[in-house]
Amino acid sequence: MARPKLLQAMIDAYNLPDLRRRILITFGILVIFRFIAHVPLPGVNADVLQELFDENALLGMFDMFSGGAMRNFSVAAMGVYPYITATIIMTLMTPVIPRLQALSQEGETGRNRINLITHWLVIPLAGLAGYGQLTLLQSQGAVASADALSTVAIILALIAGTMFLIWLGEQITQYGIGNGISIIIFAGIVAGLPEMIGRGILAQEQGQALGLIVFIIIGLATTLLIVIFTEAHRRIPVQYAKSVFRGGRMYRQSGSTHIPLRVNTAGMIPLIFAMALVIFPGIVASYFANPTGADPNFANYIQNIFNPNTNLPLGLVYWILFFFLVVGFAFFYTKVLFAQQDLPGVLQRQGGFIPGIRPGKQTESYLNGVINRITWGGALFLALVAIVPFIAREITDVQIIQMSSFGMLIVVGVVLDTMKQMEAQLVMRRYEGFLK
């Protein structure tokens, strides 16, 4: 009986000494990460901290990036999200700042310089985010107040934890399997699965078995949709013509290939932008809102509008705004990435052309038209995935389990990317007689 392709690939990879070493290195680094995620900082009130994260969706998103370390307020509480923020900033600033644009066109050397600048940018971003998180938790009574020296020490510890996680991720990229930063985030999400399963059992015990089944079906359907759109792309045929000088004569050679334009070029970045923007008014309003039990003021009203857990019909405002912001940011970020790639210029410099399309302006107009059309599919897909938690909650009435759009996108994307890298490693080693 033939084994499934995925299982066979894993067995073949483990049978090769070098790939086995890469896999074991990856698992070893992830074990170190999970230990770091449970090293707590001083003065934490665990009960208040748990309640705060259950009520705040933005903190829940950051906790996902930290692999649950933020919920414990550990040394790795900031996770790798300052690095993600720095990467997004550098991506947006590269076409705007001439010096960065020049570096991006210098090949490997330029990319290394941009990567170094990104790492330096992480330090102040992690410091600011750490101070903001510490202040917020102290104001909510989740962390005890501290003097100036202790505050500085906690912030430095948070920065060090972030940089250490980034370093671990880079070791996975270099010596292990897959993209290290993504796998760090993936490991944190997977680490929360036992708790989700426990909540599912509790929901069944509370008489929500039917709702739980529908919840699982929605989750599986969403996963299938993510796989389809993650792999979906439009192939643009390209032909190349080049001259080769051989034996004292000039020969014309030609070849054909294609450019794969992804339907979801922007990835999950639009969801991060949209959520940060749609939750920000509620975060600001929370500082001016009256406490629970007192008469609500206007700040309480704003806080309820921009809270994903608010019941209908008021809670509908948040999800409608979230939907349209995701669509808008998907187009915006795709345009930025496409402008950086400069595909028409690259084709012209390499002697390539799209059959039936003149090089230069006509090629640029044609590619822009294709990108605009396929981005509608990617943008609507991301927007639908973004509101799936709301749809699942309203249809199933299961409140004890929260479905994470970010988590599902990351898990599916990391699994697909890692398996592709593993298969590529196997293909390079799969000579005749090498694998039996």
Residue 433 lies in a domain: no
Write down the pLDDT at residue 229. Answer: 86
Banded pLDDT at 167 (limits 50, 70, 90): very high
DSSP 248-282: TEEEEEEEEEEEEEETTTTTTHHHHHHHHHHHHHH
d(CA 187, CA 34): 8
Tell me, yes or no, whether 428 lies in a domain.
no
267 & 373 share domain: yes
* Cβ atoms of residues 49 and 71 within 8 Å: yes
Q: pLDDT band for position 433 (50/70/90)?
A: very low
The listed range with the strongest mean pLDDT (164-168, 206-210, 358-362) is 164-168
**Whether residues 167 and 221 fall in one domain:** no
430 within some domain: no
Last residue of a domain, one of 163, 191, 219: 191
Q: CA-to-CA distance for 407 and 387, rounded, in angstroms?
A: 13
User: Are 266 and 337 within 8 A, CB to CB?
Assistant: yes
Q: What is the DSSP string of 12-79?
A: HHHHSHHHHHHHHHHHHHHHHHHHHTT-BPSSB-HHHHHHHHHH-HHHHHHHHHTTTTTTTTBTTTTT
pLDDT at 171 over 60: yes
Q: Are residues 168 and 209 in the same domain?
A: no
Do 51 and 114 lie in one domain? The reply is yes
Among candidate residues 334, 338, 328, 284, the one with its CA nearest the CA of residue 306: 284
Task: Report pLDDT digits (tens) over 10-66.
Answer: 677 777 778 888 888 988 998 998 888 888 887 777 777 777 776 665 566 666 656
Distance CA 43, CA 138 (A): 10
How many whole angstroms separate alpha carbon 412 and alpha carbon 385?
13
Query: 224 and 107: one domain?
Result: no
51 is a domain residue: yes
**Other beta carbons less than 10 A from residue 180's beta carbon:** 24
Q: Final residue of a domain: which of 171, 191, 211? A: 191
In a shared domain, residues 387 and 239 = yes
Q: Which two tokens stand for residue 86?
A: 């720095």
**pLDDT, position 124:** 92
Range of the domain at 353: 198-421
User: Between the CA atoms of 74, 76, 80 and 85, what dihedral angle is there, to the nearest 10 degrees?
Assistant: 60
In a domain, 379, yes or no: yes
Q: DSSP states of 129-153 as a string? A: HHHHHHHHHHHTTSB----HHHHHH
Query: 82: which residues sit within 8 A by CB, 6+ positions away?
Result: 122, 125, 126, 129, 162
Distance CA 365, CA 360 (A): 9
| pLDDT at residue number 436 | 46
Same domain, 173 and 238: no
Asked if 309 and 251 sit in the same domain, the reply is yes
* pLDDT band, very low/low/confident/very high, at 432 (cuts 50, 70, 90): very low
- CATH number at 205 reads 1.10.3370.10
Q: Are residues 138 and 153 in the same domain?
A: yes
Domain co-membership, 138 together with 230: no
| Bigger pLDDT: 46 vs 119 | 119
In a domain, 80, yes or no: yes
Split into its structural domains, the chain has a count of 2
Q: Are 307 and 286 within 8 A, CB to CB?
A: no
Mean pLDDT of 413-422: 80
Is the pLDDT at 286 greater than 60? The verdict is yes
Count CB atoms within 10 A of the CB of residue 11.
Answer: 10
CB neighbour list of residue 309: distance below 8 Å, 6 or more residues apart: 55, 57, 315
Higher pLDDT, 17 or 171: 171
Tell whether 146 and 226 lie within a shared domain.
Answer: no
Instruction: Tell me the per-residue pLDDT of 359-415, one tens digit each, with 9 for 90 and over.
Output: 878 888 888 888 889 999 889 998 998 888 888 888 877 666 666 777 788 888 888
